[in-house]
């Protein structure tokens, strides 16, 4: 009787298959989650770059009137963010030398989790700089 119990306790054939199956299932779930979230991180990176580029253009021009550059970046990135400027204006859209230029971009992105549905999140990017143009 003792020998039979001892043999049953030692015999673990088939346990490895279950462990491997569960491990593969967990790995697939992690990969699926990463594939869902990775595009959101890419859009955030693009939005940050978008903000830095239009602020740099505004610094060079000395004005927040840069619709050509904005249109070009919208076409390159495929993003269409809401743009909000916060500047020390001199007159109109002009910013005096060393005046602060700040921009905030806001973009809504949908995150979908397959059959569980999707929900929107709001990405924000901020950039700031100083005007490089002197107005008399």
Residue range 53-86, pLDDT digits in tens = 999 999 999 999 999 999 999 999 999 999 999 9
The residue ranges of every structural domain in the chain are: 38-130
Quote the DSSP letter at residue 27: H
Report the greatest alpha carbon distance in the chain: 104
Q: What is the pTM of this model?
A: 0.78
- How many C-beta neighbours within 10 Å does residue 48 have? 16
Give Cα 88 to chain centroid, integer Å: 29
Q: Each residue of 75-127: pLDDT tens digit?
A: 999 999 999 999 988 888 899 999 999 999 999 998 877 677 788 899 999 99
- The Cα-based distances of 88 to 55, 60, 85, 110 in angstroms read 14, 15, 10, 35
Short-list 58, 54, 90, CA closest to 72: 54
């Amino acid at each position: 009787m003792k020998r039979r119990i001892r043999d049953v306790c030692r015999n673990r054939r088939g346990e490895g298959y279950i462990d491997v199956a569960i491990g593969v299932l967990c790995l697939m779930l992690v990969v699926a989650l990463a594939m869902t979230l990775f595009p959101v991180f890419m859009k955030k990176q693009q939005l940050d770059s978008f903000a830095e580029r239009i602020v740099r253009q505004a610094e060079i021009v000395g004005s927040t009137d840069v619709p050509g550059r904005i249109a070009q970046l919208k076409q390159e990135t495929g993003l269409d963010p809401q743009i909000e400027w916060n500047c020390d204006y001199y007159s109109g859209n002009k910013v005096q030398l060393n005046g602060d230029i700040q921009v905030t971009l806001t973009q809504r992105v949908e995150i979908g989790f397959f059959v569980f549905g999707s929900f929107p999140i709001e990405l924000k990017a901020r950039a700031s700089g100083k005007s490089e143009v002197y107005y008399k």
